[in-house]
Structure 1
Amino acid sequence: MAEPLSQRVSIPVRHFDRIIDVALATLTVVGVITGVAAAEVRITWTGTIPFALFLGALLLVRRRWPMTVLLLSIAAIFIYRLTSDFEGGWIWPLSVAYFTAAATPRVRWVVAIGAAQLIYSAVDFWPVLNRSIGRFIVHLAGEALLLAVLIAAGVAYAVLLRWRERLREADGRARVAEERLRVSREVHDIVAHTLAVVGVHLNVAADTLEEAPDEAAEALRLAQNIRNRAMADLASLISVLREGPDDNAPQPGLASLHELVADARAAGLDVVLDEHGDPSAVPAAPAVAIYRIVQEALTNTLRHSGATKAEVTIDYRPRSITVEIVDDGRGDHDVAEGYGLAGMRERVSALGGVLTAEPTSGGFTVKADIPVAGSPA
């Protein structure tokens, strides 16, 4: 049995398909009756009307059984021609049936059936050859041309459906790849920040374990708290991977900045957070980006620069946000474009902004300008 033209469609699409099928069935009934009348054959309730209604009714199941509909339609026209005076064409009453069957993988069978019907049509129309060769040739050429057009249209429609399906699959793969990239950036930011801060606390604990055990114990408790928060963040990301991108867990935002700064201060870095404007009006996507930029910048400061002080300045404006992190570390060291810096650039670029990261006199500066207008909430 041939596959239906459309297998996995939504309810609105299926409803639209039913409307199309009913419309084609109605047009077929009207067209057959009109064609028979145009051929000057008497319309009867025992011949023409049942024949037209049967062809139309078959089209209501054409998507499920396209080859069966075609064969039954051909059988119906054979019976009608044998029991009536109708001498019109063999192909046009079956136009929709041929088109539908040609859109299935069994298009070769459709061509073979159509060719056989054309041969029989030539034999049936043979007596006309003695009276008018031109009429005979025009009749067969017209039948053959119509059959070719119907089969070509069906094949083109099937190709279009496959092309659209490939586009949907490619779009799905792109979304999956984008989600994986986003999750990888989140994992990098969480792990890098946690290792940097926990590493500082562990060093403090190791240095003060014998001389100041209370201070060492406090450093270990802070390291444990930071580790627990990181594990919670990673658990939420893992749930995203398991459940899919449509079930994203809440991501850290501007409300978590003070906690982030507190972690850096507990690690021994003097951090000043200076915010201007109203952070409550910032959409979710830029808010997450700001949090991750500050997190990555402070992580790099703790791990690489040897800085003792950092200043985080965030300017919330109606149409854009400026984030600037300046430290007093070694500003003359080489900057390597690692995963963290690349991730920051990707985040800002995805939102239509610009990020710069460069040494300055007496330190290092990371600055991001992020537009707000049009950002998803």
Structure 2
Amino acid sequence: MAEPSPQRAPASVRHSATIVDLVLAALTAVFFVAVALATGVRSPWQGTIPLALFLGALLLLRRRRPMAVLLLSIAAIFVYHLARESPAGWIWPASVAYFTAAATSRVRWVAAVGVAQLVYSAVDFRWVLDRNVVRYVIHVTGEGLLLAALIAAGLAYAASLRRRERLREADARARAAEERLRVSREVHDIVAHTLAVVGVHLNVAADALQEEPAEAAAALRLAQDVRGRAMADLTSLIDVLREGPGSTAPQPDLASLGTLIADARATGLEVIFDERGDPSAVPAASAVAVYRVVQEALANTLKHSGAVKAEVTIDYRPRSVTVEIADNGHGGDGGAGVPEGHGLAGMRGRVGALGGALTVGPVPGGFAVKADIPVAGSSL
């Protein structure tokens, strides 16, 4: 019930803590008065009820000043016992205060204070020895066991708080690592696609530089435009890979596919783009996966296949999205397949993380990449 952490809790947590404190304060006051009456106190308004109210009111401050609440509670109990011969106990009226203080870093002081109070309690109760030794032993032993239990409970609670905090920190680190891994894949996709497109434009420029300088200049301008867009994307992503805080830009979505297709067409590759169905219901994670699969597949087509034509087909269905990129190149090399590099591994991992499936390989007349990606709330 103690909150050793200095961080400010959310409003809902603070509200719940206040309710808990009010309940504990009320229970302490009522229970103290009830026990006092049950053990022979005849005039509760002469010390018993005021002390009960004081002990209860102190508990409303226990989270902010745990040691002060404990010491004031003990002092009030001490004054109460000096003012009247009461059978009420010494340790148990301050049970909540002991537990709260024991959950802080000052647990040794709590134990020392408790032992001192327990010793005084044993001395103060010595008059019972002549009348009832068993009662005396039960009283002293019971108070000692209660003190040990309260301190142990406070230590256990503090340990559980620290364990939960470590788990939260570990979870935050794991999420940060996953985010950096995701962004590193995004960076790879952007770089691979950009290098493929820019490489094609540079080849065109080199071939046309002597005979068609205007065409060469146009190719270089297109390469420069693609490079500029890629640099903007990389700038927005690179901070996420650093350990410190950084900002992320919006991820590419289905609306960005047109620019991707236009870049591929500008290299001279004939790209047929066919969309079927309604893309509006596709969630963000699936949309990014669709974009990256198309981006990586077209980059592989431009770099490895020698194709002159590619067909991009995206079929939006209620439970899944099917993406297929087929070209007329030799990416398969007779069925050998393409190397399992970072791009293909990234596509496979991205699609697999969403519960989908990716197939890559030769088809009649060329090579194809096909991904089936489920939408949120469904599975293939």
TM range (shorter): over 0.9
Task: Please state how far the C-alpha of 1:361 moved relative to its aligned partner.
Answer: 4.7
Structure-2 residue corresponding to 1:272: 272
Q: Which moved more, 1:249-258 or 1:163-172?
A: 249-258
Structure-1 residue corresponding to 2:348: 345
* C-alpha distance in structure 1 between counterparts of 2:93 and 2:175, whole Å: 46
Q: Is the 8 A contact 1:326 1:365 kept in 2?
A: yes
Q: Which moved more, 1:306-315 or 1:58-67?
A: 306-315
Structure-2 residue corresponding to 1:5: 4
Cα shift readout 1:24-69 (whole Å, capped 9, x = no counterpart)? 1111111111121112113343422221122112111111111111
Matched to 1:358, the amino acid is G
* Structure-2 change in CA distance of 1:43 and 1:342 (3 Å): farther
For the pair 1:79 / 2:79, whether they are aligned, the reply is: yes
* Structure-2 change in CA distance of 1:282 and 1:334 (3 Å): closer
SS of alignment partner, residue 131 of structure 1: coil
**What count of residue pairs does the alignment treat as equivalent?**
372
Task: Please state how far the C-alpha of 1:240 moved relative to its aligned partner.
Answer: 6.0
Structure-1 residue corresponding to 2:18: 18
Structure-2 residue corresponding to 1:324: 324
Structure-1 residue corresponding to 2:123: 123
Q: Is the 8 A contact 1:33 1:43 kept in 2?
A: no
* C-alpha distance in structure 2 between counterparts of 1:350 and 1:334, whole Å: 23
Q: Is the 8 A contact 2:37 2:44 kept in 1?
A: no
**Gaps spanning 5+ residues in structure 2: where?**
none
Structure-1 residue corresponding to 2:194: 194
Structure-2 residue corresponding to 1:226: 226
* C-alpha distance in structure 2 between counterparts of 1:352 and 1:7, whole Å: 41
SS of alignment partner, residue 130 of structure 1: coil
Cα shift readout 1:173-218 (whole Å, capped 9, x = no counterpart)? 1221121122111111111111110111011111111111011011
Structure-2 residue corresponding to 1:287: 287
Q: Which moved more, 1:107-116 or 1:25-34?
A: 107-116
* C-alpha distance in structure 2 between counterparts of 1:20 and 1:219, whole Å: 71
Q: Is the 8 A contact 2:33 2:44 kept in 1?
A: no
Matched to 1:226, the amino acid is V
* C-alpha distance in structure 2 between counterparts of 1:137 and 1:359, whole Å: 88
Q: Is the 8 A contact 2:51 2:80 kept in 1?
A: yes
* C-alpha distance in structure 2 between counterparts of 1:89 and 1:256, whole Å: 75
Q: Is the 8 A contact 1:269 1:309 kept in 2?
A: yes
Q: Which moved more, 1:5-14 or 1:353-362?
A: 353-362
Matched to 1:93, the amino acid is P
Q: Is the 8 A contact 1:4 1:65 kept in 2?
A: no
Q: Is the 8 A contact 1:6 1:63 kept in 2?
A: no
Cα shift readout 1:90-138 (whole Å, capped 9, x = no counterpart)? 1110110011011112222222222222222221222212222211111
Structure-1 residue corresponding to 2:315: 315
* C-alpha distance in structure 1 between counterparts of 2:310 and 2:161, whole Å: 57
* C-alpha distance in structure 1 between counterparts of 2:98 and 2:57, whole Å: 15
Task: Please state how far the C-alpha of 1:5 moved relative to its aligned partner.
Answer: 2.7
* C-alpha distance in structure 2 between counterparts of 1:215 and 1:271, whole Å: 21
Q: Which moved more, 1:222-231 or 1:352-361?
A: 352-361
Structure-1 residue corresponding to 2:358: 355
Q: Which moved more, 1:296-305 or 1:129-138?
A: 129-138
Q: Which moved more, 1:350-359 or 1:290-299?
A: 350-359
Q: Map of 1:1-377 to 2, 5 A cutoff?
A: 4-8=3-7, 9-238=9-238, 248-330=248-330, 331-332=332-333, 333=336, 335-374=338-377
SS of alignment partner, residue 359 of structure 1: strand
Matched to 1:374, the amino acid is G
Matched to 1:31, the amino acid is F
- Same amino acid, percent of matched pairs: 70
Matched to 2:65, the amino acid is W
* C-alpha distance in structure 1 between counterparts of 2:245 and 2:325, whole Å: 34
* C-alpha distance in structure 1 between counterparts of 2:133 and 2:163, whole Å: 44
Q: Is the 8 A contact 1:4 1:66 kept in 2?
A: no
Q: TM-score, normalised by structure 1?
A: 0.92
Q: Which moved more, 1:172-181 or 1:359-368?
A: 359-368
* C-alpha distance in structure 1 between counterparts of 2:353 and 2:196, whole Å: 27
Task: Please state how far the C-alpha of 1:368 moved relative to its aligned partner.
Answer: 0.7
* C-alpha distance in structure 1 between counterparts of 2:43 and 2:185, whole Å: 74
**Gaps spanning 5+ residues in structure 1: where?**
none
CA RMSD of aligned residues (A): 2.1
Task: Please state how far the C-alpha of 1:273 moved relative to its aligned partner.
Answer: 1.5
Task: Please state how far the C-alpha of 1:274 moved relative to its aligned partner.
Answer: 2.0
